[in-house]
Structure 1
């Protein structure tokens, strides 16, 4: 299924829109990623230096749009007054299952926008994509992300083993989460 052909626009709050990534979003996405790079790298593995150049982020957008055309990925942006303040993706869409991931600009945190976006994406996952199993992981140090998952019906299945060190000396310790409750339109598994 070509996910680029579907309408993914959804107003989350006044001036805040959830929408699909489009080929023309590279410049705005580059600004978002550069402005929040240090914040993101506190919780996820750093991207390569090439990503933070126009050609790098353009290649990333093209790759994601191609994956959306083939139905393997749903890449969404969270915008406030036309500026990107967050991203949310469904990766590895296959056999009624996907991995959800998200990131939000530091200045936009604490307002419940990511929780609202995750709820809407969980709803779309079941209603539009027939997904029954959503999973993700967060580092232990990212309590805010764990709260977003908990609010949306995800439960911690297990804590993982320490992996790659992050830029600030933390280690990725992936706690795997899975949506187990009938919440936001997802059927119980």
Structure 2
């Protein structure tokens, strides 16, 4: 992937870096309540710079192993979201999982729709993947619209798929064949 990509909205999509820990801690702390229904229950240290130093180091380790592509969305020097291709599998599968989040103040502006479009291009043209999959909570219509606008198709309901907000929850499964 090129070092960074400026989206039509002016937001910059770029690779996560070790220097992002403080900005991520601030973004997660500011959006804690907003993100809580959509994410795993987080320990208190997740919302600190030290906790994000560890999270960033883990993500960058996965990047070095070529099993993850962690990206952040930056606007006016602040992180307003993130997107990741994770669990990248090669061989006969050529697949990755797509995950993303956006700050409450940036929600509904088309930023994530643009971001997912860029990730589809990167997965296909840069990584040579065949398929991307994503999962959303059944009540997350906004996330489902983002996926559908980017050519993802619904293919089933996974019961008790992920532990989100402290409980095992069903997820709608989407895929995009590249």
Shared fold (TM-score greater than 0.5)? Answer: yes
CA contact (8 A) 1:43 1:141 kept: no
Report SS of the residue matched to 1:13: coil
Measured in 2, the distance between the counterparts of 1:16 and 1:141 equals 27
- Equivalent residue for 1:119? 117
Q: What are the Cα deviations for residues 138-187 of structure 1, in whole angstroms up to 9, with x where unaligned?
A: 001111000000000111111121464626xx86221111114xxxxx2x
Equivalent runs, 1:69-148 vs 2, <5 Å: 69-95=64-90, 96-148=94-146
CA contact (8 A) 2:4 2:14 kept: yes
> 4+ residue stretches of structure 1 with deviation over 6 A?
none
- Equivalent residue for 2:11? 16
Alpha carbon RMSD of aligned pairs, Å? 1.6
Report SS of the residue matched to 2:39: coil
CA contact (8 A) 2:134 2:173 kept: yes
CA contact (8 A) 1:15 1:81 kept: no
Length, aligned pairs only: 174
Runs of 5+ unmatched residues, structure 2: none
- Equivalent residue for 2:174? 177
Measured in 1, the distance between the counterparts of 2:9 and 2:155 equals 35
In the TM superposition, residue 56 of structure 1 has moved relative to its aligned partner by 1.1
Measured in 2, the distance between the counterparts of 1:44 and 1:66 equals 22
In the TM superposition, residue 37 of structure 1 has moved relative to its aligned partner by 1.3
TM superposition score normalised by structure 1:
0.86
In the TM superposition, residue 40 of structure 1 has moved relative to its aligned partner by 1.0
